[in-house]
Amino acid sequence: MRILIASVALCFAALFTGTQADAAASGKFFDHASKKWVSYGSVHHGKSPIKRKQVRYNGSYGPNTIVISTKDRRLYHIRGNGTAMVYGVGVGRQGFQWSGTHRITRKAEWPSWTPPKVMIDRERRKGRNLPSFMKGGPNNPLGARAMYIGSTIYRIHGSNEPWTIGSAVSSGCIRMANEDVIHLYDNVNVGTKVIVLR
């Protein structure tokens, strides 16, 4: 009986994983807000399933501030003209969410990736060996741009998995589709305040 239950569970897990992969490959994404599968084009174009938009803003955060709502999976870039640009983001999965106020301390185009030691050790325990270093480029998990947050190990960065935008999937970093991270990167400077809310 236990073997049968385990087999059914494995088949279901494989089916679910296959369904997600098939949906991603066909340009579909599960939108958590609407609880529906939505189309967003080819994954190779790096477009976000959540289209960025400019909205009116009269809140308490000052101009040139980045506010990230991990609950809503949105990043707000507050501008000085009574507006904010809103982007969809991927956030930390269960157990990897955090909050705080920092500043952007560094910006990089097509950044290289040096996984933190804690991540390397954690993945090794799962039987997955991460590289200690990966050169920047289209296959790099940090995508087209990265903005480093304070002295933390976290970044706002691009992704070569745009279908994950809108999900809680990362190890704490804030993921954006490459198209969106380039747009944000071009509009913020080192020293920009970053506020992460849970």
pLDDT of 41 above 60: no
Distance in angstroms (rounded) separating the CA atoms of residues 55 and 31: 20
Helices (H), the chain: 2-25, 117-125, 178-185
Per the residue annotation, which of 32, 45, 102, 173 is the catalytic one?
173
Query: Of 89, 53, 37, whose CA–CA distance to 197 is shortest?
Result: 89
Q: What is the pTM of this model?
A: 0.75
- Confirm whether 157 is a catalytic residue: yes
Of 35-44, 109-118, 135-144, which gets the smallest average pLDDT?
35-44
Q: Tell me if residue 194 falls in helix, strand or coil.
A: strand
Does the annotation count 102 as an active-site position? no
Annotated catalytic residue, options 11, 44, 102, 157: 157
